[in-house]
Each structure stands twice: as structure tokens, then as C-alpha cells.
Amino acid sequence: METSTNSRRDWIKKSLLSLGAVAVAPQVVWSNRVENALNTNSKFLFHNPSFNEYTPPRFPDLDSLKARLMWNENPHGPSKKAAEVFQEEVWKGNHYSWQSLGKLSDKIAAKEGVEPGQVMMGPGSSDLLEKTALVFFQHGGNVVSADPSYMSLVSVAKAAGGSWKSIKLTPDYQHDLDAMEEAIDAETRLVYITNPNNPTATITDTQKLKDFCRWVSRKVPVFIDEAYIELSDAGMANSMAPLVAENESVLVSRTFSKIYGMAGLRIGYMLGKKETLDGINEITRGGMGITGPSIAAASAGMDDVEFLDSCRSRLIEARNYFTGYLDSRNIAYMPSQTNFVIFPLEMAGDDFLNQVYDREMAVRAFKFWNQDWCRVSMGKMEEMKLFTDALDEILV
Ligand SMILES: Cc1ncc(COP(=O)(O)O)c(C=O)c1O
């Protein structure tokens, strides 16, 4: 937590209060998608996961939202240049887009310093996470990943017949790499790491992660989900992509949904060993779901460095404003290296959400580690101000 000793004490106090509040919370509605089967053993090596999302039955009308702060989108995107080529490309909509997809894939390979065969494209990175899970867990096995973390890959791994070994983050919210390595057994098919992590927004030390990947990937492939890497302080210097270039058994996913502001255009990619990607492609055909206009927009978006820089600074400005607000109210939060911030709630998450929805705004509320949390995405400054005004009323 970014907090002084006093506010840390307050936070602990508040957490205890909120535990009480949760105990009497009337009806907690859990999302099925993130409610997990539990893997524990008698030595408690595997943390007993309790990552749940509050999903009250009502949801505000998205078109009339005054502050859309729930899905970690980029409110400034897409770039004008990307939008223009998208529109032009619509007129080629009668054609399949294999060739332009191949060109984009090669452009990405050159940018990332990998071989052309080491890139697999997909309609968003979730598609690639899920395809990887389908192929890796078709015959069972387990995936080792953090609790809490992003659940797309883990959920599909479980649905495909695999199981989840969840490892609690360290007290400073990094991946517990030692415990993750210890959890690997003969049945482990993949280690999955989201860096920076969602929903905690925190990053794991780059050098330690690199050493871990080099060492562990000799035993089992390691998947690093880098959806938010561009927003981390050191940016691409935190990326594990260079390990793919060294042909280690490491997979790295990226998305055009976040810093590029193209969540609705659905495009992402994954880097990995050629044999691994060929194996996934053989069964699932990665790029088939991507549309021609999205391919053109992604390519133009990559070239629009000025736009990317301005998004980054505007999102960081919003983050500084919001964490400044939390500081001023003595509310602790996890140190964010992304376009979202998570902070503990003193009230039950569904109660909080309902009050936010009443004001035609949307954020997310989770419960993990016996604590309720609000996760808020960075919007435009006016949205952030509306939300902090709302917090002034809700968190009295
Ligand atoms: C950690 C992480 N990975 C992957 C995704 C999926 O993004 P997309 O499918 O839009 O590329 C998200 C979306 O929020 C995410 O937070």
C-alpha cells in the first residue's frame, strides 16, 4: 500500500471494520465466472482462493453513463489515424484479410525483435489466452497462477478439464515466484502471470521475473499476460518479449484494447516459440476472427506514437489525480502501474456499487482476502472528478 504508517493503521482498522460489514451483508451475488473451485493441500502451500466479483442484478444504461470506469478501457482512443483507415477499409469488407493480417504480424515481429513465425494474432488477447488454455489443458493438467489475477485463461483451463493451483500474491502485491515454482508438479502444463496484474494493478520485479522465466520455462512453459505493460513506469523495459527472441519457452500476450484505445475493435497478439504457436494454430486458427478494418486500424495505431504518448500521459494524469484524492482522504490503495486503481471499501461491495450506479457511473467491486474492494478505471479528467464527488457522498 502507498500509505504512511498512520494511514496504514487506519487501513487495517478499516479492513477490520469492513470484515464486520461483510459478515452482515444481506445478499451477496457472486459472478459464476470468477467463482472458483478450490485447490488446497494440508501444508497450505496453495492459497485458498476467494476472488469473487459483486454483480448486482441491475446495471446502469451504458449510453447514459456519466463516468464509464469499469472495464479498463482507454477513453481517449482510438487514434484519429486508426479510425480513418478503419473506415476506408470497410469497403474491402467483401474480402478475407489474410494478407493484411500477415503483413501486420510481420510488422509486429519486427517491432518486438522476434521471428515472423513467433507471432500469433487474435481478436483480442482474451481470445489467445482462451485458445492457449483449450490446447494446453485438453488432456487435463494444472495451471499455476496468482490469486487474485485475471481469470480468462484459468477459467477456460478449468472448463477444458484442467485444475488451478492458485498462489497468493506476496504482501507487497507481487507474484510469489518462489511459491509458484514450488507449486509446479508433474501435472503442471503452464504457469500464467499477469504483469502488471489485474485486479491489483501491481507489477512484479522485472529482473526477478526474468530470472524466474529463464529458469522455470526449462521445466514448463510460462505465459506472461502484458495487457497493461505500456502503462507501467518502465514501459517496455518490463516486458518479457526479449525471452521469446531468445527462444525460451515463454509466451507473451499483448492487446490493442488498452493503450491503443481499441477495445471494441478486437485485436491482440501473442509471442512465443514457433512450435508452440503452430500447435495452438493447428487446432484453433488464431487470426480468423479479426476483421480487415481492425487490422488496418491496429497497423496505423502502431505508427501513431504521438497519440500513444498523449494517452499515456493523460491516463497517468488521471491516476495521479485519483490517488491524490485517496491520499487526501487517508484511503490506502495498491500502487498502480496500470490505467486502474484498486482500493479497499468499508462497506459491502454490492451496496457500494448500487450507490455508484444510482449516480449513473460504473466501476467494479470485488471481494478477496476477506476484504471488499473497488476497482476504478482511469477515465477522462471530468469523469474522475464526477467519481471523486460521488465518493465524497458515498464514503462519508
Ligand atoms: C490482464 C488482462 N489480460 C487480457 C485482457 C483481455 O483484453 P482483450 O481481450 O480486450 O485484448 C484484459 C482485459 O481487461 C486484461 O485485464
Backbone angles phi, psi at 173, to 5 degrees: 65, 30
Q: Let me know whether 30 and 100 are in one domain.
A: no
Q: Whose CA is nearest to atom 12 of ligand 1?
A: 227
Structurally, the chain folds into a number of domains equal to 2
225 pocket-lining for ligand 1 (C-beta < 6 Å):
yes
CB-side neighbour CA atoms (13 Å) of 118: 23
Q: Let me know whether 200 and 276 are in one domain.
A: yes
Q: Let me know whether 318 and 295 are in one domain.
A: no
Q: Let me know whether 258 and 137 are in one domain.
A: yes
- The Cα–Cα gap between 345 and 365 comes to 9
Q: What are the DSSP E strand ranges found in the chain?
A: 52-53, 67-68, 119-122, 142-147, 163-168, 188-194, 222-225, 250-255, 268-271, 340-344, 361-362, 364-368, 371-377
Is the peptide bond between 148 and the residue preceding it cis, with omega within 30 degrees of 0? yes
Q: Let me know whether 132 and 211 are in one domain.
A: yes
Strand (E) or helix (H) holding 133: helix 125-136
Q: Let me know whether 318 and 280 are in one domain.
A: no
Q: Let me know whether 155 and 287 are in one domain.
A: yes
* Cβ atoms of 261 and 311 closer than 8 Å: yes
Dist. CA 50 → ligand 1 center (Å)? 21
Q: Which three cell numbers stand for residue 208?
A: 526477478
Supply the CATH number for residue 27's domain.
3.90.1150.10
Q: What pLDDT shows up at residue 379?
A: 98
Last residue of a domain, one of 303, 335, 351: 303
pTM above 0.75, yes or no: yes
* Cβ atoms of 364 and 300 closer than 8 Å: no
198 pocket-lining for ligand 1 (C-beta < 6 Å):
yes
- The Cα–Cα gap between 109 and 171 comes to 37
Task: Count the residues in the chain.
Answer: 396
Q: Whose CA is nearest to atom 6 of ligand 1?
A: 126
Q: Let me know whether 246 and 319 are in one domain.
A: no
3-state secondary structure of 201: coil
Dist. CA 194 → ligand 1 center (Å)? 10
150 pocket-lining for ligand 1 (C-beta < 6 Å):
yes
Dist. CA 227 → ligand 1 center (Å)? 6
Q: Let me know whether 161 and 203 are in one domain.
A: yes
Interstrand relation of 361-362 and 67-68 (parallel, antiparallel or unpaired):
parallel
Q: Residues 11-15: contacts with CB within 8 Å, 24+ apart?
A: 11/331, 11/332, 11/344, 14/344, 14/346, 15/344, 15/371
Q: Let me know whether 136 and 253 are in one domain.
A: yes
- Name the stretches of the chain with pLDDT < 70: 1-50
Last residue of a domain, one of 284, 303, 322: 303
Ligand 1 atom at minimal distance to the Cα of residue 197 = 1
268 pocket-lining for ligand 1 (C-beta < 6 Å):
yes
Q: Where in the sequence is the domain holding 45, given as residue range(s)?
A: 5-75+307-394
Q: Let me know whether 59 and 136 are in one domain.
A: no
Provide CB contacts within 8 A for 287, sequence distance 6+.
Answer: 98, 101, 105, 120, 121, 122
Last residue of a domain, one of 274, 303, 332: 303
Our mutation pick for probing the ligand 1 site, out of 154, 228, 257, counting the most ligand atoms within 8 A of Cβ, is 257
Our mutation pick for probing the ligand 1 site, out of 53, 73, 121, 126, counting the most ligand atoms within 8 A of Cβ, is 126
Q: What pLDDT shows up at residue 15?
A: 39
Q: Which three cell numbers stand for residue 291?
A: 476483421
124 pocket-lining for ligand 1 (C-beta < 6 Å):
yes
Supply the CATH number for residue 294's domain.
3.40.640.10
- Nearest residue to 199 (alpha-carbon basis) of 385, 348, 374, 62: 374
Our mutation pick for probing the ligand 1 site, out of 155, 195, 224, 225, counting the most ligand atoms within 8 A of Cβ, is 225
Dist. CA 342 → ligand 1 center (Å)? 17
The single residue listed with the C-alpha cell 488454455 is 133
